[in-house]
Amino acid sequence: MSRDPWLVRWLPLLRERAVTEPVLELGCGRGADTAVLADAGLHVIAIDRSAEAIAEARKRVPVAEFHCQDIRAPFPPAAADLGAVVASLSLHYFPWAETLTLAGRLRSVLRPAGVLLARLNSTGDHNHGASGHPQIDERYYLVDGHPKRFFDHDDVTVLFATGWRTLGIEELVIQRYSLPKVVWEVVLARSGA
């Protein structure tokens, strides 16, 4: 497995937008991105549903605040009026209506001009489930027993159509796993009040 330094290029933006507020990280896993954020001097509130992953992340990044929960559950009270949210490969497990609701909830915890950095599975990600698996719904498959959504450009546009200003959207090949993975990397700012 290769190192995945995706956040490094976004650290200046995160520092600018989350000067005093915490950064909410959804799907923190074992804390790799949490460590990058904390090492950059940011206070992180990290969420993951795996107790095992949270335990490892706590050891790795003792200065962060961790919560073991589903990201669809209410966010911790401190996760309000935030400057930034990071969601790397954590928004793809849900039916479309729940995914839209989650995008709205992310917007609601950000202060105006707060940013969301997200990476989403691309429909071009055939190494990790975009083809060859039972279909649950359009671009939504049962991959190794788990539901996974794959997004095309139009899906990304629709998901973040209301209340967001797009700062960047790019389809990339990353080296996070043993095989290359195709993702959408999306950077958005909350628009309006």
pTM of the predicted structure, to 2 decimals: 0.94
Token pair 């937008």: residue: 17
For residue 172, the model assigns a pLDDT of 93
In sequence order, the β-bridge partners of residue 87 are 26, 118
**pLDDT tens-place string over residues 163-182:** 999 999 999 998 888 889 99
Which residue pairs, CB below 8 angstroms and at least 24 apart, start in 130-139?
Answer: 130/182, 137/95, 137/96
pLDDT at 145 over 50: yes
Please name the residues in contact with 185: beta carbons below 8 A apart, sequence gap of 6 or more: 6, 117, 118, 119, 168, 169, 170, 171, 172
For residue 192, the model assigns a pLDDT of 77
For residue 189, the model assigns a pLDDT of 96
DSSP assignment of 141-190, as one string?
EEETTEEEE-B-HHHHHHHT-SSEEEEEEEEEEE-SSSS-EEEEEEEEEE
In sequence order, the β-bridge partners of residue 163 are none
pLDDT at 3 over 80: no
Q: Which residue has the higher pLDDT, 73 or 175?
A: 73
**pLDDT tens-place string over residues 75-94:** 999 999 999 999 999 999 99
Q: Which CATH superfamily is domain 6-190 in?
A: Vaccinia Virus protein VP39 (3.40.50.150)
Q: Output the average pLDDT for the chain.
A: 93
**How far is residue 152's CA from residue 186's CA, in Å, rounded to a whole number?**
12
